[in-house]
Structure 1
Amino acid sequence: MALLVQKYGGTSVGSVERIKNVAERIAEFYRQGHDLIVVVSAMSGVTDQLLQLASQLHPEPSEREIDVLLSTGEQTTIALLSIALHALKIPAVSLTGAQAGIVTDGKHTRAKILNISPKRIKELLQQRNVVVVAGFQGQNVEGHITTLGRGGSDLTAIALSAVFHAECCQIYTDVEGVYTADPRIVPTARKIDEISYDELLEMAASGSKVMQARSVEFAKKFKVPFEVRSSFTNVAGTIVKEEVSAMEKVVVRAVSLEPSQAKVTILGVPDKPGIAAKVFCRLAEAEINVDMIVQNISDHGLTDITFTVHKNFLKKALVALESVVSEISAREVRATEGIAKLSVVGIGMRSHSGVAAKLFSSLAEAGINVQMISTSEIKISVIIDEKEGKRAAQIVHDAFQLNNPL
């Protein structure tokens, strides 16, 4: 039978009862004759609890020790799930990321996978064990525990699927798949049967929390198709795979809303070569991710540069800009919170016109002002007032008739 890689998120293993349910699901696949590598996250809430404990001891704890601390969350889950499988008479062995042969670079709290040694897992599979692997973690070449950052368990599962050429990679979560919008924001959102890597990447970059962008990028690079589905039902999920021509028939695949954004404008910037480089190099040095960027037309040798960041990084961005603003002789810096990014995504945009017109018309008719615009080949994003976010998402979703079955 086939080799399956399954990943279960924190909500799927959030209690003893849920771990038992996951074990029953795994046991069913095992009894059908499948080989199984199962990747798990920490139980929901555990990672936050561990971080709170660390913060009570030190305001800025060592990243190395944070990795050691957080890795225990997944290690608890792998042991509990293996015990639950043993209770069902299913042979199972739990492995930490290091024991599973996952080698990373040395960047603590946001490491990248460099290599996976398959020997140990292969031996256990040959002995007909279910191999339960701690997601989100690995070990660097010096033997230190490292973690992969937010959504790292998804990355672990997809990387293992690539290395072992799994027949199927299933990402189990608390939703039944990828939707045309967040159902909590747009109640009429519909589950998507198939979506391309590029579309899901753009959704992830636009605020969708279904999958971490790094995981999707890895899947695309190594051509690993995967399914996002619920661990609470047996309903088929969403298949994420390489683009096929039939996908272009759908002009807009989904609407994404990313709240909690902030806008920074540097006024009176000299319009000459190297100025923008100085600004954004300084932000990069502070490890601040900048999203949308707009530069106004030059007037009398001066221009304005506006960009957006997550509001949690606004203070850090302003501190980083303090010295560079005087260095480039800019007039002042202004910051605005309370904004959101609304995006429409679809590979059909490459071959169909009128998407921008419909997007802007629908927002205008609803009296929603657009503050900034950014485009890519398969995405259009706008910045709007955060208070209008949910209403705008529903309006745009309706305008493109995304609630209608294909």
Structure 2
Amino acid sequence: MNIVVQKFGGTSVSTKERRTQVINKILQTKQKQKNIVVVVSALGRKGDAYATDTLRNLLLEENPLCSLKTLDLLMSCGEIISATLLGSALEALGEKVIVLTGAQAGILTDDHFSNAEIIAIDEKRSLSYLEKDYIVVVPGFQGATASGEVTTLGRGGSDTTATALAVALNAEYVEIYTDVDGIMTADPNVVPRARILDQVNYNEVFQMAEKGAKVIHPRAVEIAQKKNIPVNIRNTMSEHPGTRIHSFTGDKESLYCSQPKKNLLTAITHKDGISQVSVHMENNLAHDSLLLSTLAESKVSIDMINFFLDKKIFTISTEQINIVQIQLKKLNFSHEIRTHCSKVTVVGNRITGIPGVMATIVGALSSEDIQILQSSDSHSTISCLVDESDAKKAVNALHSAFHLDC
């Protein structure tokens, strides 16, 4: 069976006119003899009447201590509204349509309400309708526990729903429709010269999403990669072919040349709202262990970790400053916190083992008088912590230095 999963974001389904464009995309795909599963997000974005954040705030205004379980039940309604509106519009055109909630589509999750993970998917019900030539419409972002409690999948949950269903149904590919033409070499609001990427591999786009690019949720990428299902990022409002995410590793030249002539990097990303924590402590393994275990127990996620003999430096989300300060005070560890930082990251699978990459980064930032506060790297990324006021300048400098403009 030739199955395609199409996911449409909140802006794509926010108005009747845009839902008409969505329907055109669905019917164009159906004309290619494809069986279609459609996944939808809640209507619009924050501030819109049925957006997820709007529903969430509605309940929290009544009861700020509302349980996550109750909150999930309400937040799941936004996607159900989108799914039923779109399903009804397709029915009005004579199409055979079935709308299934996440639970009805067999999406089984754990009980971590508001950030649940998918455990398994029973695809039988969806397949039975696809075999009868139905268009199956599923609200994204939701599932249910084994006991039937409604859960939501956290930020980017509709992307996760789409790729998870694609894996369960052995789909040919996934199309994720949004309001941009594809994945770009940088945020176009920061770098006007940013280009659309024709294709990118799973690891690179995962790193981009992890490091701040708002393209697709990293969990969704991981799921698609497990079964090597291509994911196409496209624009609902245009016919642009978009960006294809798959196992692409580079052009033929990169297979034989140790230093390819073309771009070493794929993209530059940045993430704001970061604080740097410096903890002054003696070189004591027991204290190191105590520090890390205490932060872990407090659900604090740390990043860009550098341990020295006399101090330990790491970064956190600025939202977690109060928690960190409380725990460090309890441990009686002297510390300093620098706020208003950004992490700027260069991403590219081809940088491993290539000399001069860090030199180019340092040269580009120093030419703009941007101080590097801290750095970290992996086999496909190099991140630099800079002052938040320098972030945009840093992204532009690196974009030019690595010739991503052309």
Fold similarity call, TM over 0.5: yes
Q: Aligned-pair distance for 1:317?
A: 2.3
Distance 1:94-1:32 versus aligned 2 partners, 3 A rule: same
Which amino acid in structure 2 is aligned with residue 387 of structure 1?
Answer: S
- Are residues 1:255 and 2:268 paired? yes
Q: Provide the secondary structure at the position in 1 that maps to 2:291.
A: helix
Give the corresponding residue for 1:313. Answer: 320
Q: Aligned-pair distance for 1:201?
A: 1.4
Counterpart of 2:236 (choices 231, 242, 260) is 231
- Are residues 1:290 and 2:292 paired? no
Distance 1:117-1:236 versus aligned 2 partners, 3 A rule: same
Q: Aligned-pair distance for 1:398?
A: 0.4
- Are residues 1:153 and 2:158 paired? yes
Give the corresponding residue for 1:280. Answer: 292
Q: Provide the secondary structure at the position in 2 that maps to 1:142.
A: coil
Q: Deviations over 1:67-124 (max 9, x none)?
A: 1011001100100000111122211111110000001111111111111111110111
Q: What residue ranges of structure 2 are gaps of 5+ in the alignment?
A: 46-50, 255-259
Give the corresponding residue for 1:128. Answer: 133
- Percent of paired sites with the same residue: 35
Q: Distance in 2 between matches of 1:231 and 1:280?
A: 45
Distance 1:80-1:397 versus aligned 2 partners, 3 A rule: same
Counterpart of 2:384 (choices 373, 382, 389) is 382
Counterpart of 2:211 (choices 203, 206, 218) is 206
Counterpart of 1:241 (choices 230, 238, 246) is 246
Q: Deviations over 1:219-246 (max 9, x none)?
A: 2223222111111111111111114353
Give the corresponding residue for 2:257. Answer: none
Q: Distance in 1 between matches of 2:327 and 2:167?
A: 40
Give the corresponding residue for 2:43. Answer: 43
Counterpart of 1:322 (choices 326, 329, 332) is 329
Q: Deviations over 1:256-300 (max 9, x none)?
A: 011111111112x1212132222122222222221211222x2xx
Distance 1:52-1:196 versus aligned 2 partners, 3 A rule: same
Q: Distance in 2 between matches of 1:255 and 1:318?
A: 32
Q: What residue ranges of structure 1 are gaps of 5+ in the alignment?
A: none
Which amino acid in structure 2 is aligned with residue 230 of structure 1?
Answer: N
Q: Aligned-pair distance for 1:313?
A: 1.8
Distance 1:316-1:16 versus aligned 2 partners, 3 A rule: farther
Q: Distance in 2 between matches of 1:113 and 1:208?
A: 23
RMSD of aligned Cα (Å):
1.4
TM-score where L is the length of structure 2:
0.94
Confirm or deny: 8 A CA contact 2:345 2:383 kept in the other structure: yes
Give the corresponding residue for 2:111. Answer: 106
Which amino acid in structure 1 is aligned with residue 365 of structure 2?
Answer: L
Q: Provide the secondary structure at the position in 1 that maps to 2:251.
A: helix
Q: Aligned-pair distance for 1:351?
A: 4.1
Give the corresponding residue for 2:361. Answer: 359
Give the corresponding residue for 2:397. Answer: 395
Q: Provide the secondary structure at the position in 2 that maps to 1:283.
A: helix
Which amino acid in structure 2 is aligned with residue 225 of structure 1?
Answer: P
Q: Aligned-pair distance for 1:402?
A: 0.2
Give the corresponding residue for 1:59. Answer: 64
Confirm or deny: 8 A CA contact 1:27 1:85 kept in the other structure: no
Q: Provide the secondary structure at the position in 2 that maps to 1:270.
A: coil
Which amino acid in structure 2 is aligned with residue 92 of structure 1?
Answer: V
Q: Distance in 2 between matches of 1:276 and 1:63?
A: 34
Q: Provide the secondary structure at the position in 1 that maps to 2:238.
A: coil
Q: Distance in 1 between matches of 2:118 and 2:236?
A: 26
Confirm or deny: 8 A CA contact 1:255 1:342 kept in the other structure: yes
Equivalent residue pairs, number: 393
Q: Deviations over 1:53-74 (max 9, x none)?
A: 1121122220101110110011
Q: Deviations over 1:318-369 (max 9, x none)?
A: 223332x32xxx3x12112111111101011124221110010111111111
Stretch deviating more after TM superposition (53-62 or 24-33): 24-33
- Are residues 1:177 and 2:182 paired? yes
Q: Distance in 1 between matches of 2:17 and 2:324?
A: 44
Confirm or deny: 8 A CA contact 2:172 2:229 kept in the other structure: no
Confirm or deny: 8 A CA contact 2:5 2:36 kept in the other structure: yes
Stretch deviating more after TM superposition (246-255 or 275-284): 246-255
Give the corresponding residue for 1:347. Answer: 349
- Are residues 1:77 and 2:82 paired? yes
- Are residues 1:20 and 2:20 paired? yes
Q: Distance in 2 between matches of 1:121 and 1:40?
A: 16
Q: Distance in 2 between matches of 1:140 and 1:364?
A: 52
